[in-house]
């Protein structure tokens, strides 16, 4: 397995992200129905559909061009809170790796750090512990930081650590009180539900690893009706 991600791999990652959002559209929307307005799955599918149409029109794009085009498509179509948040996140990630033919685990760390900053700038400054996508992203970054400089850790191993941490970050949102977005209107009633944005961020990060490993990503097949936590999932084969 290569220790870098090039343009053609990133292209595949964005294609697979659409497939993963489609496979989990109902699940993400269910999570958003519990503490929001039941559109998160629909929003993410719409956004990644346009992103995929747009990247098809690029000729021989590098990683930065792919991420930037994706960000602009998300900004344009996703709407709601997640549109600007994910749109700016991808565009900022793009600017960090601009012009690079391939990116390694240090680049990915720098990208995610810039992406997190963008989310915090756009969204008003959510911190870990406040029940948003920041919980997933921050956890992944912390895990990646520990291994990004280590020569003996491969890209795959580093991403595996990041994805494991992202999963814990996602699950950690269940007992949290929402401070941001629509979920915050619920006050105490937001407690006990997994955050939809934290979940889509986990799926996005997981898809990067899955793509490197030669499959598409994860489909959540069974989840707790009570808190939305994942009970069963299966890999989506090519
Ligand atoms: P909307 O809430 O406008 O319907 P979505 O349902 O698509 O948008 O996305 C909701 C998700 O966006 C939440 O689950 C949360 O993770 C994330 N989110 C909302 N507001 C913020 C914010 N201010 N900062 C960070 N993340 C946020
Ligand atoms: Mg919503």
At residue 200, the pLDDT reads 98
234 within some domain:
no
Q: Is the pTM of this model over 0.85?
A: yes
Pocket test for ligand 1, best of 21, 48, 82 (most atoms within 8 A of CB): 82
55-66 residue pLDDT tens? 999 999 999 999
CA of 132 relative to ligand 1 center, distance in Å? 7
7-43 residue pLDDT tens? 999 999 999 999 999 999 999 999 999 999 999 999 9
230 within some domain:
no
**Structure token digits, residue 167:** 């999963």
151 within some domain:
yes
Instruction: Give the domain range for residue 201.
Output: 5-217
Low-confidence ranges of the chain (pLDDT < 70): none
At residue 17, the pLDDT reads 98
237 within some domain:
no
At residue 2, the pLDDT reads 83
Closest-CA residue, ligand 1 atom 20, reads 181
223 within some domain:
no
CA of 108 relative to ligand 1 center, distance in Å? 23
224 within some domain:
no
122 within some domain:
yes
CATH of the domain at 56: 1.25.40.340
Domain count, the chain: 1
Based on the number of CB atoms within 10 Å of its own CB, is 225 exposed (0-12), middle (13-18) or buried (19 or more)?
exposed
At residue 1, the pLDDT reads 76
At residue 79, the pLDDT reads 82
């Amino acid at each position: 397995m290569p220790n870098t991600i090039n343009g053609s791999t990133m292209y595949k990652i964005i294609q697979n992200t659409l497939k993963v959002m489609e496979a989990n559209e109902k699940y993400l929307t269910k999570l958003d129905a519990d503490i929001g307005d039941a559109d998160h799955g629909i929003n993410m599918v719409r956004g990644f559909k346009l992103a995929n149409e747009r990247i098809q029109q690029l000729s021989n794009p590098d990683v930065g061009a792919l991420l930037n085009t994706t960000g602009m498509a998300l900004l344009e179509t996703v709407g709601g809170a997640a549109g600007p948040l994910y749109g700016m996140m991808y565009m900022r990630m793009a600017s960090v790796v601009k012009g690079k033919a391939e990116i390694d685990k240090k680049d990915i760390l720098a990208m995610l750090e810039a992406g997190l900053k963008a989310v915090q700038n756009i969204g008003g400054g959510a911190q870990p512990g406040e029940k948003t996508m920041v919980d997933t992203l921050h956890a992944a970054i912390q895990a990646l930081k520990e291994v990004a400089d280590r020569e003996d850790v491969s890209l795959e191993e580093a991403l595996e650590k990041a994805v494991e941490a992202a999963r814990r970050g996602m699950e950690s949102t269940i007992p949290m009180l929402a401070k941001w977005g629509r979920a915050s209107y619920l006050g105490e009633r937001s407690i006990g539900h997994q955050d939809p944005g934290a979940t889509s961020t986990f799926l996005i990060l997981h898809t990067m690893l899955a793509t490197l490993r030669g499959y598409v990503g994860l489909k959540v097949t069974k989840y707790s009706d009570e808190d939305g936590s994942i009970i069963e999932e299966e890999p989506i084969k090519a």
